[in-house]
Structure 1
Amino acid sequence: MDSEDLNPIAGCQIKVDDMKIFNSTDGSFKINMHSAFSFRTIIVNSLGYYSDTFRIDTGSHSEMRITLKRKSALLEEVSVSNGTNNVLEKALKNISNNYSVCPFFMNGIIRLVSTSDNNYLYNSDAIIDIYHPGYSTNKKSEVKLVRNKLTILKRFKYDSTYLIRWVRNGYRSPLNFDIVHSKDYLRLDEIKRYNFVYKGKEVYNHRTVFLIDFREKSGTDPLKDKMLEGTLFIDSIDYAFVRADLILKNIRTSGFIPIKELVAHIEYSNDNGKYYLKRMSVVTSFLPHNGITVNNTVTYLRTSIDTTQVTPFGYKEKIQVSDASQSTNSLAGGREIAKIDSLFGKAERDKLISPIQYNIVDTMTTSSHNDSVLLQNRFKYQFADYIRNGGLTLGLGISKLPLSVLSNNMDVENSGMYSLLITDRFRLCGRFCLTFESSVNFGVGGISNNKSFNVYITNSFSINKYHRPIYISPYLGYGKIALDRKKSDLSVVYNNLLYGLQAELELTHKSNLYFSSSYYHNLNVKSTYGDPPFRLVHIAYSAGVNFKL
């Protein structure tokens, strides 16, 4: 306990030889002292206190009271009369001392909530794991969605709210607002970007902290220029960032919807002598859209830390940028829902996460809509889900037509056989997809192939699917090659049976690198020039990138 006020000191480390334990929140601990030695030595450490050493009689079974002397903050503090930069610079330089430089896992819970004009749209309660590479490296942290529970509360007009349901990157918020690790906020070489005002000291979580307000030096128009401002809470002894309140204003856009203001609250807590992200909440206020104002709230709470056998998540496990937040593969079952409810219920009782006041409602629209509107909105919801789940893929690449030039007397060159290829692929059912391809060569080589297109059915299967998948897709369909030259009467059309094979390597969860080889079996040729000045070589190649919306 504290030697001055005799209050319990939680989180003390008690070391007996090679054994280490930590006391409970009420300051108590218990050690079995069975030993061949008459006396044992224990060492007690706690952040902000001087360590002490005690000798204990191993034959005694009585309780003992240990008091620690508090370190004097006056001896550790730097003078702020010379400006807040002294405090900030010392805090930034001490990051490697105050925060773990070794990789670690953080287990926690996160709640995503969308509200519209004081009405709840939906919420998603989830369990997530975070891999953190340590605070001494620029490597990025990773998030794995363990299980989520998605509850649709109410759906309004589709065109106003369907994008909100996606809440892209919602589960990645703890990474984006870990201000100590993110280089977007705290950098020693960018202190000059801000104006600082020292606001004094106060007691925060039983510790004395410096309060420093800051504001980004913006342009000439504070109502239009992007601006970051807030308050930093810096421990007066350890010089650790223990809390930050941020306000980001005048953000241009987020996805498709303009943001009015973003307010973030970040807390760090000490665990075994190192500070870790403990709690975070972010409230995003969007500008009114179609008469509706939408606010998104993300709240994260760390529940445990693991520093043993820490390795990065596998490729398939981690959530990437622009991944849709509602992963249907991670929806919880009955027992898992009970576990999620239990974790969030405890957090709400401890007032660490705000409860949601609602009766669960799952409706497609409000009851005032007529049948035709209900059907129309239901189709729009289904189409949005179809796209969100990877139903539509767009591709961009380069293709080579299966032709070669026989004669140059018409100033036609082989360079005209290369084209920009645009692909639209629609998932039909299971592994089957319908693909449309169109090409354009912009008249290069003295000839145009802008009317050429392919349409075919693919059947895909994957290998290495638990890591970075490779997709193999045989296909069969129809291919039309149409060539014309405006300065003459040359017009040639090849109608072909098309079949081939495409291989795709997944670059991200949303993009694939592809290479395909096609065989054109000619059905007929139509030419306005007699014998066309081309030779069909049958084999065509293309390569590019496919993007899932």
Structure 2
Amino acid sequence: MRKTDLAAHLCSYCIRLLRTAPRYIGCLCLVLSLFGQTLAQSVNVRGRVTDADSKTFLPDVTVTSGPSSTKTDSSGKFSLNVQQTILKQVGLRFTHVSYRPQLAPYDPSDTYQVRMKASFIELPEIKIMGSGLSVLEKAIKRIPQNYPDKAAMLTGFIRLQYLRNGTDHFNSDAMVQLFIPPVRSGREPAARLVTNRTDTLTDPSLIFIKWIGAYHAPLHADFVGKKAAFIDPKKIRTYQYQLTGKRRLGGRTVFAINFAQHDTSGKKEATAGTLFIDSATFAFAGADISYFHLKRYGVLPRSKVQYSVRYRKLGSKWYLQEAFTKGNTIYKKEDPVSLTDYVTTKIDTVNVTPFSYADIIQETDVTQRIRKPTDTTLLNGVDSMLQQTLRYQELYPVAELATARTDARKNERKGRNWLNYFTGDNTRAGISVMRFPLNNYSSSGPVNYGFQLGAHYRLYQGLFLGFEGAGNIGANTALSLYHFRLSYEFTVTSIVGRSVIFTPIVGYNILTINEKSKSLKSQANYWSYGSAVAFELTHQIFLSATLTVADLTLKGTGSFRPTTVSPALGLMIKR
């Protein structure tokens, strides 16, 4: 081959190579690009976080995977874009100030349902440091100027729900008014019911588990008004605090400070949560608070109570705007959960006076019994207003409650009527100091006096059948009296708004006397007549005075002689 032909051939080959090279280079770049995208592929993971005990949603849970992080919303939901390779390596980590950290391994479905277990352990990283302490102390010092210096009346809507095993429901919507005294007055706040609507009681035995204090839930949540320990200057050193930065809350910028108590035993009552302090006024704008290991609330032990509180600035003062409460009760294996959600719709500060005794709802009033359907049209806007609260999504849906109500009517069992009897206003208990209808001529002292216990049950309207037993104080002489009685209650309301109950009584008595030191015994069976008057101290407790007369004859020998009068003074408890 000639040199000229070889040169021409090489030149032609190079020209063809240059023409096709971009095609191969482009393919190579595409392959490398796809390989790189595979290595750093981003996936969207989503899910919901709930409380393992109460099964309710958990907001503000931090979700992290490598450098990516987010927080759950008010309904416990989250959505996060993460690198798949990192997700496969480290999974998702869930943390909350009052729950055990939890790690969820990689799930190919990219959907996670996480249940977090409440835990109260020491958090050594949470300490009062630098600006955190100054922010907290400044907020405490400014309480007198940031909160009402004169009485206010708040009007608002509240929804109450009691759930058991996730299937049995009690639901009530109400309009309430709250009396809020000046923040430094030392006076007690109070609640008054305007109207309520109660339904959806699928299991009558829910009434048997008495729920008290539900209408007071907003007042309990008002940690500024009740001067909670974690904002008390004398007690803040028993807590740990951590300033976590700033965030937006209700359209305002706030400092977020986590706080907790030491509790290495895991058995003591403890508190943890997050305080939100307005950056402009240094007012407490709200808080999320959890109380753990509570001993009792009412008659049942409580494992945990959670509050979510928000305040609103009106003029130069801050007022309670919304309050959500969730309580977990320990009762067999039935997991009762109580929920309340409150929102303020009106604030009055002109010529506000305390509520009268007759109007207030008392702390120990049983929620399921409270009925005041005066004007339920006032409740037409309750759901739309509550939807504006931060924790509305944790309430049980009203539509599902309506279905439960319909099913309950179909499956109603008359065999449970006895529960309604014992949980209604049908029983009375009494404890008193009484004088036996006797005189002892051979000795002096308290031998003629004793303690008396009684129980009384409604037969019809004001008619009660009762049984009482009494024993004396003397050691050497034993007196015992058993009293079966019929009584009829007449109730009137006094000028101060408290009830007064007048009760005529007729009864049959069995009296025995045992003078141990003298080996003497005597006894008497006799009828007695009398009356009692009881004055209301609270809705459940009355101061009671009783006077009965009898004409009795003792059988046997002894040092006692009968008298005709037997007085008693004590307390009557309405159940």
Q: TM-score range by the shorter chain?
A: 0.7 to 0.9
Q: Give the Cα separation in 2 of the matches to 1:252 and 1:429.
A: 38
Partner deviation per Cα, 1:317-348 (whole Å, 9 max, x = no partner)? 111121111344x3315xx23331x1213215
Query: Which residue number in structure 1 is paired with residue 191 of structure 2?
Result: 143
Offset, 1:379: 3.2
1:399 maps to 2:438: no
Distance 1:106 1:348, change over 3 A: closer
Q: Give the Cα separation in 2 of the matches to 1:533 and 1:172.
A: 57
* Counterpart residue type for residue 567 of structure 2: Y
Distance 1:486 1:454, change over 3 A: farther
* Counterpart residue type for residue 193 of structure 1: T
Larger CA deviation: 391-400 vs 446-455: 446-455
Q: Give the Cα separation in 1 of the matches to 2:188 and 2:224.
A: 12
Query: Which residue number in structure 2 is paired with residue 505 of structure 1?
Result: 535
Offset, 1:301: 0.6
> How large is the Cα RMSD of the aligned pairs?
2.5
1:428 maps to 2:459: yes
Q: Which runs of 4+ in 1 moved over 6 A?
A: 363-369
Q: Give the Cα separation in 2 of the matches to 1:368 and 1:508.
A: 37
Structure 2: 5+ residue runs without aligned partners? 1-127
1:176 maps to 2:242: no
Contact in 2 for aligned 1:315/1:467 (Cα 8 Å): yes
Offset, 1:414: 5.2
TM-score, normalisation: structure 1? 0.75
Offset, 1:232: 0.7
Q: Give the Cα separation in 1 of the matches to 2:474 and 2:305.
A: 49
Offset, 1:138: 1.9
* Counterpart residue type for residue 268 of structure 2: D
Say which of 411, 421, 438 aligns to 2:469. 438
Query: Which residue number in structure 1 is paired with residue 233 of structure 2?
Result: 188
1:271 maps to 2:271: no
Offset, 1:466: 6.1
* Counterpart residue type for residue 363 of structure 2: V
Q: Give the Cα separation in 2 of the matches to 1:118 and 1:516.
A: 48
Q: Which has the higher helix share?
A: 2
Partner deviation per Cα, 1:421-459 (whole Å, 9 max, x = no partner)? 112122333333223221111543x31112443523234
SS at match of 1:89: helix
Say which of 374, 385, 410 aligns to 1:347. 385
Offset, 1:155: 1.7
Q: Give the Cα separation in 2 of the matches to 1:302 and 1:366.
A: 34
Say which of 498, 520, 524 aligns to 2:550. 520
Distance 1:108 1:323, change over 3 A: same
Offset, 1:350: 4.0
Contact in 1 for aligned 2:343/2:389 (Cα 8 Å): no
Offset, 1:507: 1.0
After superposition, residues 24-173 of structure 1 pair within 5 angstroms as: 82-155=130-203, 158=205, 161-164=206-209, 166-173=210-217
Structure 1: 5+ residue runs without aligned partners? 1-79
The structure with the largest alpha-carbon Rg is 2
SS at match of 1:467: coil
* Counterpart residue type for residue 382 of structure 1: N
Percent pairwise identity: 24
Distance 1:478 1:116, change over 3 A: closer
Partner deviation per Cα, 1:221-277 (whole Å, 9 max, x = no partner)? 2x3232211111101110000010111222233334333322210000011221000
Offset, 1:488: 4.5
* Counterpart residue type for residue 310 of structure 2: E
SS at match of 1:308: coil
SS at match of 1:361: helix
Q: Give the Cα separation in 1 of the matches to 2:132 and 2:477.
A: 69
Distance 1:429 1:380, change over 3 A: closer
Query: Which residue number in structure 2 is paired with residue 198 of structure 1?
Result: 243
Offset, 1:493: 1.8
Q: Give the Cα separation in 2 of the matches to 1:303 and 1:184.
A: 25
SS at match of 1:84: helix
SS at match of 1:92: helix
Contact in 2 for aligned 1:155/1:364 (Cα 8 Å): no
Q: Give the Cα separation in 1 of the matches to 2:482 and 2:448.
A: 11
